[in-house]
Amino acid sequence: MTDPLSGYARGRVLVTGASGFVGSAVARIARERGFDVRVVIRKTSSRQNLEGLDAAVVIGDMRDEASMRAAMKGVRYLLHVAAD
């Protein structure tokens, strides 16, 4: 199987939906591949799927432009995995 992250210059990635099963798996893979990972989650989201993940956690909401601008600061790639 081809690594979907191969060939990309390393840098900071922001993962949306990282509190969920798929989003947390994507964040873990990005971290394993050498990316600096930041995740954005809502204040009310469970952090259970993020346990043990070496990532910066930013509290925000995709529907709020200001919080997304803050979360995106210094980010090279956006991995949008959120369902809503």
Q: Which residues of 48-83 are buried (b: 16+ CB within 10 A; e: fewer)?
A: ebbeebebebbebbeeeeebbeebbeebeeebebbe
**Would the pLDDT of 63 be above 70?**
yes
Write down the pLDDT at residue 10: 83
pLDDT, average across residues 74-80: 95
Average pLDDT, the chain: 92
Residue range 25-60, pLDDT digits in tens = 999 999 999 999 999 999 999 999 999 999 999 999
φ and ψ at residue 39, rounded to 5 degrees: -120, 145
